[in-house]
Amino acid sequence: MQQALKAAHLKRGLTSPNPWVGAVVVRDGQIVGEGATMPAGGEHAEAQALASAKSGDTLYVTLEPCTPFPGKRTRPCVEAITEAGINRVVIALLDSDPRVRGRGITLLREAGVQIEIGDGAAEAQTLLRPYLKHRETGSPYVIAKFAATLDGRIATAEGDSQWLTGEPARERAHRQRNWVDSVLVGSGTAIADDPSLTARPNGRTMARQPLRVILDGRGRLSPEARMFQEPGRTLIATSYEANSVWKARLATAGAQIVECEQSSRGLNLNQLLATLAQRGVLSVWAEGGGTVLGSLFDGDHVDEVWAFLAPSIIGGSGIAAVGGKGVTRATDALRLRESTVEMVGEDILVRGYTGAWSPQPQ
């Protein structure tokens, strides 16, 4: 199972909207075949592992094998497993997709296959959190990321923010961008920084780029923005009332336009996140600014936090990392679950789950 998990991890985020799954075939106690899910429409991990093994007696797989359902583009894995003569399947996790959950196990047992569930479950669940949330709730998995000083500032009162954290922290963020489905920022950040919002681990612009999502309810972003010259796709979330000429100019620049309802507090994030999920976006890497992050926290949309803290102080009326309504009592403050703290160069990375959503129990 550890080898299957390793194979799955290498495909993390590369198979959306399908889950990244690893599989290993064993014969007489020896690994004889291995596979991992290909991008949507390609072979699943089980099919790859079985094809490379030719024969075997046990299959280890990180997620419940898929079953027939309307619209399915690949052969159901339960059929491939039974036809290959596998007599034992060890499964880390049940599939959260309601079209599959439990049915894969039932069909395999009906075919006489011995089933074991739970080996590697904790690791598989951590690895597949974006997929699990998407299938359970119909909404993407949201990771709130910010780089701030020790006093929680992301910029000075004048808006200067480069560079708060060091190169190792920025490199770590690029490695995260390299696997997520989308990177989300507000128009204020997009205008102030004119970022490319591309994944560039080790300084290399990757062939696969996350979808850039810009929240711009007032129609402020220029079609000359740098991001429109970069590889990858850009989606502008705006309001129905925003200027139609501006929308047309952005569309000509290559942007996809998504219209959302708007209130005094900004765009309807429930509506936007549902739209992203319908388009196969499993994960959102939300980079700010503070107003956007505040809205995401206020709406209980955040599932995980990555806070890079620089060993510095801005003070004064510097811009806060997280805005929004916040809380009125310290006892109501959001506390992270399963939090970890590590040094990334000279900076501190605090990570953890918010508790707004947790995977279904197995």
Task: List, in order, residues 6 or more apart from 30 with CB less than 8 Å away.
Answer: none
| The amino acid at 267 | L
> 40, 17 in Cβ contact below 8 A?
yes
Look at residue 310 and give its three-state secondary structure.
strand
Q: Name the β-bridge partners of 60.
A: 24, 90
Which whole-number Å values give the CA distances from 268 to 93, 276, 277, 292, 301, in the listed order? 34, 13, 15, 12, 12
Q: Is 287 a catalytic residue?
A: no
266-267 and 262-263 as β-strands: parallel, antiparallel, unpaired? antiparallel
Task: List, in order, residues 6 or more apart from 123 with CB less than 8 Å away.
Answer: 5, 92
Where do the H-state alpha helices sit in 91-240?
A: 103-110, 121-127, 129-137, 167-177, 187-193
Options 34, 43, 46, 287, the catalytic residue: 46
Which helix (H) or strand (E) covers residue 47, if one does?
Answer: helix 45-53
Catalytic residue IDs: 46
